[in-house]
Chains A and B, each alone.
Chain A
Amino acid sequence: MTNATGDVQKKLPFAVKDCALITIATGIKVQNLKEFAVALKDVPLGSIYHHFWGRLLRALFDEPEYNNDFASWASRGLHDKSLAEHLSMVIPTDYKDLEGLRQEMVEVVEQHLDESEYVPWAKADQQFHFLKSQIVIFDTGLRYDHPAELVSQIKKLSTGSIYYHFIDARNRTEERHDDFSSWLNGFDGDEFNELTRNLCSMDPYFSSLKEIRLNVSNIFQKFLKKGEQ
């Protein structure tokens, strides 16, 4: 069983980490879908990560219409709604790793090109700029031995901590889910199975990190309250 730090262990305390992310230009930009398909095969995997996940730590308006930057560009830059819909339903955790995710994206785009009568293109000022990110992770020193200790602290966690444990974890852990669930799975018996199930069933794609924090906190609170009754 893995914990928040990725070590094999049982019932170790939950170690709260925090992170900050900085965006770096890859220098690769495209103006039409054919160029996009070619670039997609070559960009660093960090760029795929950034456009699926890193967006949550960037300036983002409350309710993004699509859940990844590629789909947003297909809609706003190429004005191709059906491609945007296809791309937005590519779920990153369905793939073993980022390379698998990249391959699926390429498939979707190439199939769309095959079916198109012309190559969708964007205006010069609506080009897609492939970005990547550097993520700095630091240990907050906070440790919690039991969910009952953690519950009151969730609302106080920074959005960086929420990103690290709830979003980044999906790309980092073998189970492809959040660190809270991985940690709860380490407890003996099935005491926390329902809590884990509730956490895993939360769709994080359309929420801001603050909303995710609130939802995670509510799920913990509801579960523990139920246990007290």
Chain B
Amino acid sequence: MKRQSKQSLQNMLAEYKAVTSPNVIHQLEQLAAPLKGAKVLHINSTKEGGGVAEILHKLIPLKQALGIDADWEIINGNQEFYQCTKGFHNALQGMNQSISEKLLRNYEKTNKENAERLNSKLKDADFVFIHDPQPAPLLKLTPKRRGKWIWRFHIDASKPYRNVWKYLREWIIPYDASIFSLPEFAQPLPHPQYIIAPSIDPLSEKNCPLPEHEIDNVFSEFNLDPELPLITQVSRYDRFKDPVGVIEAYKLASKLTPLQLVLAGGGASDDPEGEAVLNEVKQASNGAPNIHVLLLPADANRTINALQRASDIVLQKSIREGFGLTVSEAMWKGKPVIGGDTGGIRLQVIDHYTGFLVRTPEGAALRTRYLLHRRDKLEEMGMRAKRFVRENFLITRHIREYLTLMVGLTSGDDERINVGKS
């Protein structure tokens, strides 16, 4: 990853200070002091698309700004590799999906090639964060490592398909620690399992404030009706995000309340199933004039930002969800969220306070009608949602927990660790 100049990193810290508060940044600086100069390497499987890449794009420069020598690498694989890891993804989220021996051998071979390519960085790092199952074997394939290795798991693995988890677990066991987004996702492993929720970046193009005209532009750009209430779900085209259920909810709600729906998604380069799901969605929408199915490029961050801001309500009707960054993104823009009652969405949507948790398309339709009817509640929930994200789901909280984990890991098993001046 290209490093920013020292001045630009300092400016970035100043910007975060303005959005959060000076003592939030001061606390980070103090917490980072004992880690100054530490080599920290993050590895995942894609630079663009999906929440992990999005978080790393900001987490790495923020760590650098705090004096940590942070770096980010991705592992490269062929189509069969991504077919295998998508299979892992589905199986760990509970789908009964077996993976052929051929795909598994290719997965191992790909990791071996990547371990050789990245060898010097892997063995020299003080901390290596491996994100998700794609690069999990790198630890065993780096015998001369010296640092602490942490496996960061981003998806909802509360009920994994056992056969696949049994295979993957063997790669995970030797890690020094693992990180899950929610306690419910943690699995029996012989090392400490930290619980860290993901976060959004308030300064990114996807979340920064936008001028009114840019928000208004999305109506003409996507042929939306500025007079009709707008509900939106922003997500990859993935069955676990239940885009077809959202269309069903829209159809039910629109019988009584005039409205329009935007389904906005892009593909992630490590997701080979996106196209098939997009076709299912198009089929379900059946050309209805007020359902707008958008396939956006990976860098359409400002467009997504504008769509979320232009919406009255944002939906995230997932049936399994590791966290759901789009939930916090919408809440940060003062929108109430109607979310699936599952995984990380529960952490963000406090039922009846920052939005509603639903289990069915009928539930989503009911809550949509209610909020469009009760504008006062909609506004109130939106304001609470923004406050809740400011307190809990900004990247500054995320990095604080990463720093605490790193200090904690280097200090042994003690529950109380004193660092710095005394």
A binds B: yes
Residues of A within 8 A of B (CB): 5, 18, 20-25, 27, 29, 46, 59-62, 125, 127, 129, 131-141, 156-158, 160, 208
> Is B250 located at the chain interface by the 8 A CB criterion?
no
Tell which of A18, A127, A135 touches B417, judged by Cβ atoms closer than 8 Å: A135
A209 closest partner in B (C-beta): B391
Kindly list chain A residues whose C-beta atoms are within 8 Å of the C-beta of B384.
62
Kindly list chain B residues whose C-beta atoms are within 8 Å of the C-beta of A131.
183, 195
> Is B26 located at the chain interface by the 8 A CB criterion?
yes
CB distance from B406 to the nearest CB of A (A): 10
Interchain Cβ contacts under 8 Å between A and B, 26 examples: A5-B422, A20-B31, A22-B404, A24-B192, A25-B186, A59-B388, A59-B392, A61-B388, A129-B183, A129-B186, A131-B183, A131-B195, A133-B415, A134-B414, A134-B417, A135-B417, A136-B31, A136-B411, A136-B419, A137-B416, A137-B418, A138-B419, A138-B421, A139-B422, A160-B27, A208-B391
Where chain A touches its partner, the secondary structure class is strand
Kindly list chain B residues whose C-beta atoms are within 8 Å of the C-beta of A22.
194-196, 401, 404-405, 408
Tell which of A20, A46, A132, A157 touches B404, judged by Cβ atoms closer than 8 Å: A20
Kindly list chain A residues whose C-beta atoms are within 8 Å of the C-beta of B372.
none
Most buried by B among A27, A132, A208: A27
Tell which of A27, A129, A138 touches B30, judged by Cβ atoms closer than 8 Å: A138
Given A25-B180, A25-B186, A139-B422, A134:B404 Cβ within 8 A: yes
Contact yes or no, B30 A18, CB < 8 A = yes
Kindly list chain B residues whose C-beta atoms are within 8 Å of the C-beta of A140.
30
> Is B353 located at the chain interface by the 8 A CB criterion?
yes
Nearest 4 CB-CB pairings of A with B: A129-B183, A59-B392, A25-B186, A138-B420
Kindly list chain B residues whose C-beta atoms are within 8 Å of the C-beta of A160.
27
Could you tell me the distance between the alpha carbons of A140 and B422 in the complex, rounded to whole angstroms?
A: 9
Kindly list chain B residues whose C-beta atoms are within 8 Å of the C-beta of A129.
183-184, 186
A21 closest partner in B (C-beta): B404
Kindly list chain B residues whose C-beta atoms are within 8 Å of the C-beta of A27.
186, 188, 193
Kindly list chain B residues whose C-beta atoms are within 8 Å of the C-beta of A136.
31, 404, 407-408, 411, 417, 419
A46 closest partner in B (C-beta): B415
Could you tell me the distance between the alpha carbons of A24 and B22 in the complex, rounded to whole angstroms?
A: 28
B26 closest partner in A (C-beta): A158
Most buried by B among A20, A60, A62, A139: A20
A159 closest partner in B (C-beta): B23
Tell which of B194, B391, B403 touches A20, judged by Cβ atoms closer than 8 Å: B403
CB distance from B339 to the nearest CB of A (A): 15
Contact yes or no, A138 B188, CB < 8 A = no
Contact yes or no, A138 B186, CB < 8 A = no
Instruction: Please encode chain B, from 133 to 171, with 1 for each CB lying within 8 Å of some chain A CB and 0 for all others.
Output: 000000000000000000000000010000000000000
Kindly list chain B residues whose C-beta atoms are within 8 Å of the C-beta of A208.
391
Contact yes or no, B416 A135, CB < 8 A = yes
Apart from A138-B421, A139-B420: 17 A-B pairs, beta carbons within 8 A: A20-B31, A22-B195, A22-B405, A23-B194, A24-B192, A29-B183, A59-B347, A59-B393, A60-B392, A61-B354, A61-B388, A132-B415, A137-B416, A137-B418, A138-B420, A139-B421, A160-B27
> Is B400 located at the chain interface by the 8 A CB criterion?
yes
A160 closest partner in B (C-beta): B27
Could you tell me the distance between the alpha carbons of A75 and B194 in the complex, rounded to whole angstroms?
A: 26
Could you tell me the distance between the alpha carbons of A135 and B414 in the complex, rounded to whole angstroms?
A: 9
> Is B210 located at the chain interface by the 8 A CB criterion?
no
Given A20-B404, A24-B195, A61:B353 Cβ within 8 A: yes
> Is B197 located at the chain interface by the 8 A CB criterion?
yes
Kindly list chain B residues whose C-beta atoms are within 8 Å of the C-beta of A18.
27, 30
Could you tell me the distance between the alpha carbons of A175 and B169 in the complex, rounded to whole angstroms?
A: 47
Instruction: Please encode chain B, from 323 to 361, with 1 for each CB lying within 8 Å of some chain A CB and 0 for all others.
Output: 000000000000000000010000100100110000000
Tell me which residues from 362 to 415 in chain B have a Cβ below 8 Å from any Cβ of chain A. Answer: 384, 387-388, 391-393, 400-401, 403-405, 407-408, 411, 414-415
Most buried by B among A129, A136, A137, A160: A136
> Is B24 located at the chain interface by the 8 A CB criterion?
yes
